[in-house]
A = this chain, B = another copy of it.
Amino acid sequence: MWDRFLRACRREPVDATPVWFMRQAGRYMAEYRAIREKHTLLQICRQPEIACEVTLQPVRALGVDAAILFADILLPLEPMGSPFEFAAGEGPVFDHPVRTAADVAALRVIDPEESLGHVLAAIRMIRRELDGKTPLIGFAGAPFTLASYLVEGGKSAHYAKTKQMMYGEPELWNALMTKLAEVVRRYLRAQVTAGAQAVQLFDSWIGALSPTDYREFILPHVSHILQDVAQTGVPVIHFGTGTATLLELQKEAGGTVIGVDWRTPLGGARRLLGTEVAVQGNLDPLLLFAPRPLLERRVVEVLEAAGPAPGHIFNLGHGILPETSPDSVRFVADVVHERSRR
């Protein structure tokens, strides 16, 4: 069933639970590593033919129900005026962290058609290649998660400088978040126009915040994005990690599907979220390292926790780690389909 994923997003009945994997294209696959030997991550993102090829690799290899654009959540930040590099083993490192009013003022609210045309070209190319057989998901990082990289200058343990700006200079914080939210809104809109059949908003690090702070400092900005993107009619997956106490606020901000990590049992998430949204998740990515009997048991437990009602997309609770065996990923996709077959 080619549209199993899209139907589940809309909480329509499906023949089997759809499955895809965050970071399903990536270093755990030999085909990807072969390409990475010749190109950096950012070079792959910037060349539509290569991004297209990498996007399709897991669709061919895994039997997943959706393709996800190969890109990086940080891509919009360079044209906004904050270039960065991926330092070996350290993640992204920004040349100049965004800390002052002048830094925020200097950020450009870009036009994605102009500044991120290569991503949109990749989407058009992938759609042609997929030829209607598998739907394509686009994505973007959410404002808090993007701001955390910009303000810290890279990844972070405590988000100390980010929260210091948020708490200490709320006007500056709101100016930064407003710019990021508008860029993300335009970027997701442009991805849909280019052909993305669903989009995922990655607020990967939002779980660092309390519900009170989420409501005060984050929700209006996420809402600005998601209420607008909803009007395109494509399903929107609103994802974060460590979000057990944020789910209702995330739903309020927007999304057709709420993506949760393994810390939040899906049964409880569905009771909390009600029947107006679907849920996505939520196997611990480290379970892909477990022996098959335990792995299968945990996959089935996720299916059982999600229950028989329509509106569950199987996924991990976060991205596949580079050391993962592709066989285990394929095994999970098969178990999901077999054990959920209606």
Contact = CB atoms under 8 A, between A and B. Distances in A.
A131 to B, nearest CB: 36
Nearest to A291: B168
Contacts of A289: 160, 163-164, 167-168
Interface string A298-309: 100100000000
Nearest to A305: B212
Contacts of A211: 263, 265
A134 to B, nearest CB: 29
A264 B212 CA distance: 10
A242 interface: yes
Contacts of A242: 207, 242, 263
Most-contacted residue by chain B among A159, A168, A207, A284 (CB, 10 A)? A284
Contact of A298 (B158, B168, B212, B244): B212
A264 B289 CA distance: 30
A212 to B, nearest CB: 6
A240 B60 CA distance: 42
Interface string A34-71: 00000000000000000000000000000000000000
A209 B242 CA distance: 11
Interface residues of A, number: 34
Contacts of A294: 167
Nearest to A269: B245
A262 interface: yes
Interface in A1-15: none
Most-contacted residue by chain B among A168, A263, A268 (CB, 10 A)? A263
Most-contacted residue by chain B among A160, A210, A321 (CB, 10 A)? A210
A93 interface: no
Contacts of A290: 167-168
Nearest to A246: B263
A319 to B, nearest CB: 10
A323 B158 CA distance: 12
A171 interface: no
Given A160-B289, A160-B323, A244-B244, 19 more contacts: A158-B286, A160-B286, A160-B321, A163-B286, A163-B287, A164-B286, A167-B287, A167-B289, A167-B294, A168-B289, A209-B263, A209-B284, A210-B262, A210-B265, A210-B284, A212-B301, A242-B263, A244-B263, A244-B264
Closest 8 CB pairs of A and B: A244-B244, A167-B290, A163-B286, A210-B262, A164-B289, A244-B245, A245-B263, A245-B264
